[in-house]
Structure 1
C-alpha cells in the first residue's frame, strides 16, 4: 500500500482535464484502488481532481462509504433526505410502507446531489410518528433505475456548477430497508462524516495545486499538517463530542493556513485561480450547522458552571 503523504508529495499529477462527472468518477476510482480507508481515498481522489467541485465528488462518495461500507465501489450514490420543508428530521414526509411483503417509498426529495448520475439512492423516509411525537425515520436503498423514480435536474449552483443537483420523485418504488434508526444511525452522523471527507478531499486538491503551481516547501508542509489533522479524527465515532470539537479546531487551522497561503495563488494559472474563487463558497455551506454542533458538543462535556450561557 502507498504511503498517502509520500503519494501527495511525489505522485505524478494527472494533467488531462476532466470534462464531466463521469470522467471525474473514473479518475476517483483509480485513486480508490490505491488506498483502503475512505478518508485516504477522499484525499487521493481530491488530488486527482482538476477543480474543487470534482474534489467534492470524491469526498462525498467516500463519506457515503464510511456510512455504509458495503456500498458498491463502482456506483455513484446519493443521499436523499432534504425535502421542500428542509432536511430536519421533522421535515421529512417521504413515506415508507410495507405492502404485500415489499417495502415501498413515496414522495419527493427536493435537493439530491449527483442528480441524474446517481445509480443508487440512500433515501431517508418516515414510518410514522412515535408516541412522543418524534418522526420515526428509516434509511432505505433504492435503485435509481426503477420505473417509479423520476429525476429532474435543478438549476446549476453559482459555485461548483459541474456537480449536478436534482429533485427526485419516488412513486411506489421498491426499497431495501437498512438496519437501525434513520436519523441516529444515518442522517445525523452523515453530516459530520461528510464534513470530514470533503475537507480531506479539499486538502488533496490543494496539494495538487501546490505541486502544479510550484508553491514553497513551507506552504506544502502547512497543507500536510492540516491533512494530518483531518486523518487523525476518529471517523468511527462521528457523534462523539470530542470529534466535533476536534473537527472545529481543524477547520480553524484550515482557515488560518488558507490565509497564510493566499499570496501564493498569484503563481497559479488563471483558470484554476478563477475556479477557486468561484467555488470557495462550497466549503462554507455547512458552516452554520457545524457551528451549532460544536456549541452542543462543548455543552455536553463542560460542567454546567463552566458553560458560556450559565448564569
Structure 2
C-alpha cells in the first residue's frame, strides 16, 4: 500500500498523452511488475491516465486480475454477460453443450466492454437447468481469434468514446475442458464481479482525480481527502465481494466519494480546458449501473449481519 501511496504523491502529475486504446494498454502493462496487487494497479493506472476513459479501462482490467488471478497478465480481457434479455441469470441463452466431438459454445452477447481490444473473452453460458429449473451457469474462457468467434464494433457511446464496445457472436466454438472455470458461473464469478469492478474502477477514478488535483493546484485538504478515500476503497477491494457487510461498507464509500465530487465542483475551473471538457462529457460513466448498486445495497440491508444479542 505504501508504495502505491508514494506513487500517487510523488510521481509526476503530468500524464503523457494517450492517443489510442493500444497506447493505454502498453502503459498499463508497464505498471504490472511494479504493482502486482490489483487494487494498487488500478490506482496507478488511473493516475497515469490522461482522461477518465483510460482510467476506467485500467480499473476494469485490474478487476479481472482480482477475480480471475489465473488469467495471463499480458492479455486484455473482457467479461461477456449481457444478452438481448439482459444479464440476469435467467436471461442467459448462450449455451455450452457437450457433444460427441467435445464442448461447444454458441450464443450472442450484445454489449462487451473493450470487446474489440480484448484477447481473452470470459463468457457466461448455461449448460442446462438444475432440479428447480433454474439456469445452471458456467464461466468459459475463449480466445477472441478462435474460429466461430465474431466480434463486431458498436457505435461510440456519448461518454468515454475512447473505450470500445462490441457485440459478440459465438457459433459452435470449440472449448477445451480446462477452459471451463471451476465453480458456479453466477455465484463464483458474475455476481461478485459487479462488486469487484465497482471497487477497482473507483480506485482508478480516485487515482486520476489525485493526478488532476496535484497538477491543477487543488487545496491540500482536498488531495488528502481523495487519498483517504483511496485507502478506504483499497480495503474494500480486498474484502469478500460476496459478503453483505462488504456491500454495506461499499455503499457508504461510494456515497462519500459522490459527496466529495460534488464539493470539489468549483475547483474544476482551475483545470485545463481539454481535461475539464472531457470530465463534463465523461462523468456520466459514474451513473452507469446505479440501479444495480442501489438494489445490491438494499439487499445487503435486508440480510442479517450476524447473531442478535438477547441481553441478560
TM-score range, shorter chain: over 0.9
Q: Are residues 1:127 and 2:127 paired?
A: yes
**CA deviation vs aligned residue, 1:234-280 (integer Å, no higher than 9, x gap):** 53410101100000000111011112211111000011001101111
SS at match of 1:72: coil
Quick check: 1:56 aligned with 2:56?
yes
Residue aligning to 2:160: 160
Contact (CA 8 Å) 2:14, 2:215: kept in 1 or not?
no
1:173-231 Cα distance to aligned partner (Å, 9 max, x none): 12321100010001000010000000000001101111121211111011111111101
**Is 1:39 aligned to residue 42 of structure 2?**
no
Matched pairs, number: 305
1:237 aligns with one of 240, 244, 265:
240
Q: Deviations over 1:1-34 (max 9, x none)?
A: 9621111011123532101111011111122221
Q: Mind listing any 5+ residue stretches in structure 2 that lack a counterpart?
A: none
Confirm or deny: 8 A CA contact 1:200 1:230 kept in the other structure.
yes
Change (3 A) 1:24 1:234: closer
Match of 1:65 in 2: 65
Partner of 1:82: 82
Structure 1 gaps, min length 5: 306-311
d(CA) in 2 for partners of 1:32, 1:281: 29
| Distance change in 2, residues 1:220/1:112 (3 Å) | same
Q: Normalization by structure 2: what TM-score?
A: 0.94
Task: Spell out, residue by residue over 1:48-98, the C-alpha distance to the aligned partner (whole angstroms, 9 max, x if none).
Answer: 111111011001001011111011111010001100111111000001012
Q: Partners of 1:99 and 1:213 in 2: how far apart? A: 60
The verdict on how the C-alpha distance between 1:244 and 1:2 changes in structure 2, with shifts beyond 3 A counting, is closer
Q: Is the 8 A contact 2:15 2:49 kept in 1?
A: no
Aligned equivalent of 1:98: 98
Contact in 1 for aligned 2:31/2:41 (Cα 8 Å): yes
Measure, in 2, the Cα distance between the counterparts of 1:15 and 1:172.
44
Task: Please list the CA deviations of residues 259-302 of structure 1 after superposition, one character each: whole Å capped at 9, or x if unmatched.
Answer: 22111110000110011011111111011111111111011026
Counterpart of 2:268 (choices 261, 265, 271) is 265
Deviates more, 1:273-282 or 1:212-221: 212-221
Instruction: Report the alpha carbon displacement of residue 101 of structure 1 after superposing the two structures with TM.
Output: 5.5
Matched residue, 2:228:
225
Runs of 4+ in structure 1 off by over 3 angstroms are none
